[in-house]
Structure 1
């Protein structure tokens, strides 16, 4: 954080916003975002950081985050990353069917997108899909990205369950 604070670039400031949000310091992320807006409020990095902050704030700001991602897709095309980000907003809004559609679109563009698969597991649970559907997504995720944090966390929980069940 000290190194990032020394730079006035949008890249460093967006990394700072991201880090602050990971630390659950939305208040400080908002202040950093204001500095980014002073530099260039229309820059892609500023808009991405605004979407991140809006997601962290939640509630009414989720709509704004959704539209930021939509504007980016209109401008740059539907990348898997933007589709997954927009689907995350829909998940937070409880619009699971719409989120699932975006995630399937992301998979069409990149069948090996780990984040799309993780979100498909979550959406499948929310929609009450058959367990076999989730197992397929998890198996695919393990095949393409065995070191993904979600996979590692799942494996740790499975190991703990086995340990407790055998005790």
Structure 2
């Protein structure tokens, strides 16, 4: 249990090497799933796939195995995205619909180019939790692809989580733009 907690903390601090020191030995489905997540964060889908194979050998139908499969499918892309969507659809039928499941379905839809369907999932997630950071970030991206205004969701995200990656990137882009304008002017 302590390995899982330490690995989770280091992962959230984006210290992936340190996280893997605690989790890489595996031993439980939770540790294997966390390893898959960490390897995907560092763009090592090959290692994530190895961890997933271990999980599948232990229990192919385990919820964490299915979740890790969907994560890997989204990372790999292509025809695997539809498979990820079907896993999340299965979760939505088995379990209570949460904003996490709705966001996962929406991300799958966006990767398949179905932005209208993604928007409906995200608006449903927003109704469940109006301050959910991932829902707000995904709504910004989805609305940009749909050609709809996204400033409302971006403002809400800034209030909810000023340190969110999307907010940091927007700030960096704005600073770069301002510098470019100053050099031209």
Shared fold (TM-score greater than 0.5)? yes
Q: Give 1:151's aligned residue.
A: 167
Q: Give 1:161's aligned residue.
A: 177
After TM superposition, give the deviation of residue 7 of structure 1 in Å.
2.6
Give the structure-2-normalised TM-score.
0.84
Any gaps of 5 or more consecutive residues in structure 1? none
- Structure 1 runs of 4+ off > 4 angstroms? none
**Aligned mates of 2:77, 2:58 — CA distance in 1:** 25
Asked if 1:86 is matched to 2:108, the reply is no
1:9-35 deviation line (CA, Å, top 9, x unaligned): 111111111111122221221111010
Asked if 1:135 is matched to 2:135, the reply is no
State which drifts further: 44-53 or 4-13: 4-13
After TM superposition, give the deviation of residue 91 of structure 1 in Å.
0.3
- In the alignment of these two chains, the number of paired residues is 164
Secondary structure at the aligned position of 2:107 is classed as: helix
Q: Give 1:102's aligned residue.
A: 121
**Aligned mates of 2:24, 2:78 — CA distance in 1:** 30
The equivalences for 1:45-60 within 5 A come to 45-60=64-79
Higher relative contact order by CA 8 Å / sep ≥ 6: 1 or 2? 1
Instruction: Give the alignment's Cα RMSD to 1 decimal.
Output: 1.2
Asked if 1:25 is matched to 2:44, the reply is yes
1:67-97 deviation line (CA, Å, top 9, x unaligned): 1111111111110011001100000000000
The match for 1:8 among 27, 39, 43 is 27
Secondary structure at the aligned position of 1:19 is classed as: helix
Any gaps of 5 or more consecutive residues in structure 2? 1-19
State which drifts further: 50-59 or 22-31: 22-31
